[in-house]
């Protein structure tokens, strides 16, 4: 019995005492835990506490205990959690509600596909606009997610087998058609059974740009122009552009309002350089504006379209070296910049089908967004010219009498003309007297004829009931009318 007690007591003491290290390769976390256990098991004096805190002794030379306490402090510092890096910028917020007619939400879903590291180009049938129209957003590397039912899907299209090996595909036309058909079906069928995006998506004409409000349209044009002017050093030269024949910059400058470039006053970065900037105006008329990143802010050498989310590197289209006469010494990386062609295939600035109204025919069915914008500016210019002509105050014309007096004063030798005598209007009595009098016989004949016509007209409106009511009342008629008693 006593032996058992001694064994139990030794076991308790062994639990309370620190365990010796079995190897020299003890992890810092384990060593720190052992040191903490030692500190808890044995009480420390005030001097030992000072040594543990790293306080030097009175002689100034550190002893063995202080060195061991420093090592323990360094070990404890390793136990502190490392600082986490700042979180990356979150993607654009997309409302988790079903609204297929909300254009703003469609553009936000479409903006989530613009990072080339997360989404690579796909064929038109399974492009980013088709996924965005059905409620999908980009949620990682080649991964989409429904904003409503939260179903996720990995889109693996840019891979194919060649000689028994899987190789990457960079061109959308090289992707197999059967794989495109499969994912075109998964755009609709991959939603949850109760998801509303599975039943109906956004309409094809939802990306259409409206120019009904002329004031807001001109303000948006001025905003795009200012953003491009702030990137003036990166803008290509005017001869680097390839504009359509219908886009005449000189004509547009004559149609813009007089205060277009002055109200509101341009910013300091915009005011530098010649005004107006024809290149910036041409790009603004075709739907381009400055690019702004959520993490780094404004990107100075890049333009973008906020409808199709296309990004355009301006430095690629600007000639590198030009002499004083405008001759290109070192050409740009690209031959020229066609601002219309650089838009995506579904963009209304490029495609008439995305901009055309429902039921439009003829020229209206072939009008893109930039054509509609030019027509709106032309119409507004015509209306302003008509309004100015109507409200322009004409100069007061001199009366003819005053003109004659001025002439007489200048030439006193000319004989004076007699003033014209104004004739008073004839009275009714004098007018009657001037009319020749008719004979009494002719007058009576005309009166009889008039009365005969009146009687005929009156007889047409007489009915049997009116005739009975007009009969004279006699004693016999009253007796016949009274019923017998």
| pLDDT tens string 49-77 | 445 444 444 444 444 444 444 444 444 44
> Do the beta carbons of residue 354 and residue 372 sit within 8 Å?
no
> Do the beta carbons of residue 281 and residue 288 sit within 8 Å?
no
Q: Which of 101-105, 159-163, 273-277, 325-329 has the highest mean pLDDT?
A: 101-105
Residue 26 in this model has a pLDDT that exceeds 70: no
Range 339-342 contact pairs with CB under 8 angstroms and sequence separation of 24 or more: 339/241, 339/243, 339/282, 339/283, 339/286, 339/287, 339/288, 340/244, 340/286, 340/368, 340/370, 342/310, 342/312
> Do the beta carbons of residue 132 and residue 95 sit within 8 Å?
no
Please report which confidence band the pLDDT of residue 303 belongs to, taking 50, 70 and 90 as the band edges. very high
Residue 20 in this model has a pLDDT that exceeds 80: no
Higher pLDDT, 71 or 248: 248
Higher pLDDT, 423 or 354: 354
Angle, alpha carbons 381-386-387 (nearest 5°): 95
CA-to-CA separations, 242 to 29, 91, 345, in angstroms, rounded: 67, 35, 18
**pLDDT recorded at residue 440:** 78
How does DSSP classify residue 471?
S
Residue 152 phi/psi, 5° resolution? -115, 150
Q: Which residues make beta-bridge pairs with 313?
A: 302
Residue 288 in this model has a pLDDT that exceeds 60: yes
CB count within 10 Å of CB 307 equals 22
CB proximity list for 69: less than 8 A, separation 6 or greater: 51, 52, 53, 54
Please report which confidence band the pLDDT of residue 370 belongs to, taking 50, 70 and 90 as the band edges. very high
Q: What is the mean pLDDT of residues 323-328?
A: 82
Between 293-297, 318-322, 370-374, the lowest mean confidence (pLDDT) is in 293-297
* Helix locations, 42-102, DSSP H: 46-52, 64-78
Residue 306 in this model has a pLDDT that exceeds 80: yes
Q: What is the pLDDT of residues 334-357, one digit of tens each?
A: 889 999 999 999 999 999 888 887
Between 112-126, 250-264, 423-437, 459-473, the lowest mean confidence (pLDDT) is in 423-437
Average pLDDT over the chain, rounded to an integer: 75
Residue 329 phi/psi, 5° resolution? -90, -45
* Helix locations, 286-368, DSSP H: 352-355
Between 2-6, 11-15, 242-246, the lowest mean confidence (pLDDT) is in 11-15
Residue 431 in this model has a pLDDT that exceeds 50: no
Of 149, 144, 174, which is closest to residue 159 (Cα–Cα)? 174
Q: What is the mean pLDDT of residues 138-154?
A: 92
Continuous segment of H or E residues that includes residue 262? none
Q: What is the pLDDT of residues 458-482, one digit of tens each?
A: 777 766 666 666 565 555 555 544 5
On whether the pTM is more than 0.75, the answer is no
Residue 85 in this model has a pLDDT that exceeds 50: no
Per-domain residue ranges for the chain? 103-199, 214-268+275-371
CB count within 10 Å of CB 144 equals 26
pLDDT > 70: what percent of the chain?
60
Enter the tokens of residue 485: 């008693």
**pLDDT recorded at residue 12:** 64
Residue 149 in this model has a pLDDT that exceeds 80: yes
CB count within 10 Å of CB 328 equals 14
CA-to-CA separations, 323 to 136, 236, 331, 433, in angstroms, rounded: 51, 15, 12, 98
Q: Which segments within 351-416 are labelled E, that is strand?
A: none
Residue 428 in this model has a pLDDT that exceeds 70: no
Higher pLDDT, 394 or 361: 361
3-state SS assignment for residue 345: coil
Strands 311-313 and 321-322: unpaired
CB proximity list for 476: less than 8 A, separation 6 or greater: none
């Amino acid at each position: 019995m006593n032996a058992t007690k001694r064994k139990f007591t030794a076991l308790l003491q062994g639990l309370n005492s620190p365990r010796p290290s079995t190897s020299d390769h003890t992890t810092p976390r384990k060593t720190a835990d052992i040191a903490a256990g030692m500190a808890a098991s044995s009480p420390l004096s005030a001097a030992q506490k000072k040594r543990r805190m790293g306080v030097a002794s009175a002689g100034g030379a550190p002893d063995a205990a202080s060195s061991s306490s420093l090592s323990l402090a360094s070990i404890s510092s390793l136990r502190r959690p490392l600082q986490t890096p700042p979180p990356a910028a979150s993607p654009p917020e997309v409302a988790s509600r079903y609204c297929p007619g909300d254009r703003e939400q469609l553009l936000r879903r479409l903006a989530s596909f613009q990072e080339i590291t997360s989404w690579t180009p796909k064929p038109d049938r399974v492009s980013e606009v088709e996924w965005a129209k059905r409620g999908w957003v980009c949620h990682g590397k080649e991964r989409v997610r429904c904003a409503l039912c939260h179903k996720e899907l990995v889109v693996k299209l840019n891979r194919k087998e060649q000689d028994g090996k899987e190789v990457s595909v960079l061109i959308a036309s090289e992707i197999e058609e059967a794989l495109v058909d499969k994912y075109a079906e998964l755009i609709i069928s991959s939603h949850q059974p109760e998801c509303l995006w599975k039943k109906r998506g956004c309409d094809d004409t939802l990306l259409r740009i409206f120019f009904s409000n002329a004031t807001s349209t001109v303000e948006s044009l001025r905003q795009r122009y200012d953003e491009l002017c702030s990137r003036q050093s990166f803008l290509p030269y005017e001869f680097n552009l390839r504009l359509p024949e219908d886009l005449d910059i000189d004509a547009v400058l004559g149609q813009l309002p007089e205060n277009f470039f002055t109200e509101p006053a341009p910013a300091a970065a915009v005011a530098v350089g010649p005004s107006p900037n024809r290149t910036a105006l041409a790009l603004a008329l075709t739907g381009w504006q400055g690019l702004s990143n959520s993490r780094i802010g404004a990107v100075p050498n890049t333009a973008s379209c906020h409808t199709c989310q296309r990004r355009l590197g301006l430095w690629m289209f600007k000639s590198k070296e030009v002499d004083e006469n405008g001759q290109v010494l070192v050409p740009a990386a690209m031959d020229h910049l066609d601002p219309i062609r650089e838009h995506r295939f579904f963009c209304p600035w490029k495609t008439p089908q995305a901009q055309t109204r429902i039921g439009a025919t003829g020229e209206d069915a072939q009008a893109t967004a930039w054509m509609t914008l030019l027509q709106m500016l032309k119409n507004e210019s015509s209306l302003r010219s008509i309004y100015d002509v109507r409200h322009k105050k004409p100069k007061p014309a001199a009366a003819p009498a005053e003109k004659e007096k001025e002439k007489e004063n200048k030439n006193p030798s000319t004989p004076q003309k007699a003033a014209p005598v104004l004739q008073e209007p004839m009275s009714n009595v004098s007018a009657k007297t001037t009319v020749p009098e008719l004979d009494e016989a002719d007058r009576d004949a005309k009166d009889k004829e008039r009365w005969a016509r009146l009687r005929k007209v009156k007889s047409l409106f007489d009915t049997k009931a009116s005739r009975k009511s007009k009969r004279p009342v006699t004693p016999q008629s009253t007796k016949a009318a009274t019923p017998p008693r």
